[in-house]
Amino acid sequence: MIQLHAVSHHFGERPVLEGLELTLTERRIAVVGGNGSGKSTFARLLNGLLVPERGQVLVEGLDTRKDARAIRRKVGFVFQNPDNQIVLPTVEEDIAFGLKNLKLPLADISARVTAILRRYGLEDFRHHPAHLLSGGQKQLLALSSVLVMEPRYVVFDEPTTLLDLRNKRRLAQAIHDMPQTAIVVSHDLDLLRDFDRVLVFDEGRVILDDVPSVALDAYVRRMA
Amino acid sequence: MSLGLYVHRDSPVHAVPAGAKMLGLLVAGTGLLLFPSLPVVSSALGATLGLYALARLRPREVVPVLRLSAFVLVPLFVLHALLSGWVPALEAVLRLAVLLLLATLVSLTTRASDMLDALERALRPLARFGLNPARLGLLLSLTLRFIPLLATWLREIQEAQRVRGLDRDPFAVLVPLLVKTLRTADTLADAIDARCFDPEDPS
């Protein structure tokens, strides 16, 4: 469970989040809203990449202000552009990066890397330079690099923005099949139709919190 | 453009630990400097070619990497031969060629991350003087990862500026490249944090 209590945040003079009060327990949670509505800032609060100016974010009782390192083991983060999050030169090395940071034994690292490569059809690219992968393969690599660390929650910040239709479908399927809780910030409403809960953001506040059939339709009408 | 020279094979040369290969390269370099005679250098060349055969690398994987070396070795041989005769020229060029071949062999048969891990271990004693080997290792890894990406961005920006007729203006290309690089650096720092990298951990 992730809880936000009275969370507010500003960038300079501009308020980006105002008085958020949320408890996230569902398995699939969507976050939508216009540009600048605060949804990406909200996503960064969930694993302690950003600490709120006021209020508290708790992940299974741990406070992001005090326990950021422990929280990052529980909450993975997939960024919009995979090129900005692939750290090491080859596919295998990049997937192993997080596991090495967790100080796992080499045999465990190798076994986990093999399993995740197989799960996402990347076995043939194990020793491939990461920058030579296609856009869809890079996003799957980014997802693999996060999931291999076995977090309980995965936050996605607009993961399908740079993908073509086929790769969007592959990523949607991957999110659907994940055992973890997924919190997905996206403008791609088709991706979010079968989610359990939708939060609609506007000017730093949650203006609607409901199931997709209600919240997404209301959001579309609002943006028309 | 690719800086990823590593070519995966199941071979005895690939199986040798990165630290041992790098140490071997250092020993070979020192040995060739101390004993530069033609018989020693010729034997070293033979042994190096034997290691290539043992590494099961195909010529098409090796030749492109070595082709660049020819641009240095051929003029060097000609110049050396003119100045001091063909035997010293042959010794000098063969010595350099053996070192280049050995360094290339290490690059082709060792993952970048394994080399960086070995380098981190070697630098660990320097942690007491304030050097952080983990940070240095990550810095070198990021350099290897991002040089090809920078080349791609440069090409994209040049294409975008060509449409505007600005491709010959260096500022019109370099300023957007710098801005994009700095923005990416911010996100990348978040991505490294999100994957539990501990900058204070010297191991």
Size of the A and B interface in Cβ pairs below 8 Å: 91
Position B60 scores a pLDDT of: 81
A153's enclosing H/E stretch is: strand A153-157
Q: Is A134 on the interface with B (CB under 8 A)?
A: no
Inter-residue contact A84 to B152 (CB < 8 Å): no
Q: Is A106 on the interface with B (CB under 8 A)?
A: no
Position B2 scores a pLDDT of: 45
Task: Name which of B3, B141, B198 is nearest A87 (Cβ-Cβ).
Answer: B141
How distant is the Cα of A52 from the closest Cα of chain B, in angstroms? Answer: 16
CA–CA separation, A49 and A33 (whole Å): 21
Position B201 scores a pLDDT of: 67
Q: Is A170 on the interface with B (CB under 8 A)?
A: no
Task: Name which of B112, B184, B195 is nearest A98 (Cβ-Cβ).
Answer: B195
Position B1 scores a pLDDT of: 40
Q: Is A196 on the interface with B (CB under 8 A)?
A: no
Cβ distance B6 to A98 less than 8 Å, yes or no, reads no
pLDDT profile of chain A (224 residues), mean per 10: 93 88 94 91 92 93 90 91 86 91 92 93 87 86 93 92 83 89 92 92 92 91 85
- Give the residue carrying structure tokens 């060509």: B162
Cβ distance A87 to B191 less than 8 Å, yes or no, reads yes
C-alpha distances in Å from residue B163, one per residue of A35, B152, B158, B159: 28, 17, 9, 7
Chain A residues touching B149 at Cβ < 8 A: 83, 131
Task: Name which of A97, A102, A127 is nearest B6 (Cβ-Cβ).
Answer: A127
Inter-residue contact A136 to A164 (CB < 8 Å): yes
Instruction: Give the number of other Cβ atoms within 10 Å of residue A67's Cβ.
Output: 17
Instruction: Tell me the whole-structure pTM to 2 decimals.
Output: 0.76
Q: Is A98 on the interface with B (CB under 8 A)?
A: yes
In this prediction, the residues of chain B whose per-residue pLDDT falls under 50 are: 1-3
Cβ distance A83 to B184 less than 8 Å, yes or no, reads yes
Q: Is B198 on the interface with A (CB under 8 A)?
A: yes
Position A162 scores a pLDDT of: 78
- Give the residue carrying structure tokens 């993908």: A163
CA–CA separation, B118 and B124 (whole Å): 10
Position B66 scores a pLDDT of: 74
Inter-residue contact B134 to B120 (CB < 8 Å): yes
Inter-residue contact A216 to A189 (CB < 8 Å): yes
CA–CA separation, A73 and A77 (whole Å): 10
Position B203 scores a pLDDT of: 56
Cβ distance B196 to A72 less than 8 Å, yes or no, reads yes
B15's enclosing H/E stretch is: helix B12-15
Position A206 scores a pLDDT of: 92
